[in-house]
């Protein structure tokens, strides 16, 4: 990590991330007054405004509905974060957690902060065409630096020193090995205390719900009773044209499979 910081790679990573956000905001500003929701902006990129419905869910009610259908344990996603640090519940679910996953979190001392401090990013005043060129370049460079950083963190996470001590210090700060929230999977019938906790704290997989909606096991009208539309947010994304085509093919296949099932 010391060499990664001293080489300027960490600073470069953060500068590229910031530049990418600034360029994205510039493109959005250029297009926000237009009437279309899709714009090919050059450099094999497409900018899209995508409406996203924001719902408020009655999760306990939905989970009880799924339980009555025999789908609660199949669809429930539960993590230690959902259990609100309740030690009794954490102990109850301890036998059911999947393999723990860890990540490395860097912290920087004064010397490190000085070394990674980036220059203030000026406002970007470029044409849409030039912004697209710079976004393409930015993404290519960011991908390379991020891959190097992720590889370094993976190597650090597996190092004996960090595995044993959970935190190590070095010239520019410290590295901590943090555990991600535990994920639980409970596939079989079990005691009512666990069922009640799954109903109260669990969140279902919505891909799974879509699957059972397509099969007709979950009724759409009944599912809709457990959610309330609160807002429609307009998200803005910039995609490579090939990535857009892959997404469209995925949703087309998903819909085709749904129609084939209905015609069986």
Could you give the CA distance from residue 65 to residue 222 in angstroms, rounded to a whole number? 9
What pLDDT was estimated at residue 123? 66
- Which pLDDT value is given to residue 43? 96
Per-residue model confidence as pLDDT tens digits over 36-58:
999 999 999 999 999 999 999 99
pLDDT recorded at residue 121: 63
* pLDDT, mean over the chain: 91
With cut-offs at 50, 70 and 90, classify the pLDDT of residue 30.
very high
pLDDT value of residue 251: 80
Q: Give the pLDDT confidence score for residue 20 in this predicted structure.
A: 95
CA distance 10 to 102: 21
Residue 259 pLDDT more than 70? Answer: no
Residue 89 confidence (pLDDT): 92
What is the Cα–Cα distance from 188 to 196, expressed in whole angstroms?
Answer: 14
- Sorted by sequence, the CB contacts under 8 Å of residue 170 that are 6+ apart come out as 1, 2
When divided into structural domains, the chain yields a total of 1
Which pLDDT value is given to residue 122?
62
DSSP 172-206: TEEEEEEEPPPEE---S---HHHHHHHHHH-EE-H
Element (H, E) at 233: strand 227-240
Q: At what angle do helices 9-31 and 128-157 cross, to 10 degrees?
A: 140
Q: Quote the pLDDT of residue 125.
A: 83
Q: Give 41-53 as a 3 state SS string.
A: EECCEEEEEEEEE
What is the pLDDT at residue 261?
53
CA distance 178 to 167: 9
CA dist list (Å): 220 to 71, 73, 223, 262: 15, 20, 5, 15
Its domain, for residue 182, covers 2-263
| Whole-structure pTM value | 0.85
Work out the average pLDDT over 234-248: 95
Q: What local confidence, expressed as pLDDT, does residue 77 receive? A: 85
Q: Is the pLDDT of residue 264 over 60?
A: no
Q: What is the pLDDT of residues 47-100, one digit of tens each?
A: 999 999 999 999 999 999 999 999 999 999 899 998 878 899 999 999 999 999
pLDDT over 60 (residue 262)? no
Tens of pLDDT, residue by residue over 118-156, are: 776 666 789 999 999 999 999 999 999 999 999 999 999
């Amino acid at each position: 990590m010391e060499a990664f910081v001293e080489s300027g790679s960490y600073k470069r990573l953060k500068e590229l991330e910031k530049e990418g956000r600034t360029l994205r905001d510039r493109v959005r500003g250029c297009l926000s007054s237009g009437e279309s929701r899709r714009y090919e902006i050059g450099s094999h990129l497409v900018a899209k405004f995508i409406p996203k419905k924001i719902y408020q869910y009655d999760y306990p009610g939905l989970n009880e509905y799924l339980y009555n259908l025999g789908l609660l344990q199949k669809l429930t996603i539960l993590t230690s974060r959902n259990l609100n640090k309740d030690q009794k519940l954490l102990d109850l679910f301890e036998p059911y957690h999947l393999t723990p996953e860890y990540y490395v979190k860097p912290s920087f001392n004064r010397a490190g902060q000085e070394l990674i401090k980036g220059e203030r990013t000026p406002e970007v005043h470029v044409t849409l065409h030039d912004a697209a060129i710079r976004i393409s370049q930015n993404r290519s460079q960011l991908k390379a630096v991020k891959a190097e950083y992720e590889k370094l963190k993976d190597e650090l996470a597996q190092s004996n020193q960090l595995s044993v001590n959970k935190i190590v210090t070095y010239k520019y700060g410290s590295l901590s090995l943090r555990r991600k929230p535990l994920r639980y999977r409970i596939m079989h019938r079990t005691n009512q205390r666990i069922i009640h906790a799954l109903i109260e704290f669990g969140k279902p997989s919505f891909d799974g719900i879509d699957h059972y909606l397509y099969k007709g096991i979950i009724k759409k009208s009944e599912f809709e009773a457990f959610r309330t539309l609160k807002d429609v947010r307009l998200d803005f994304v910039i995609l490579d044209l090939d990535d857009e085509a892959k997404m469209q093919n995925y949703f087309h296949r998903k819909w085709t499979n749904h129609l084939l099932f209905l015609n069986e």
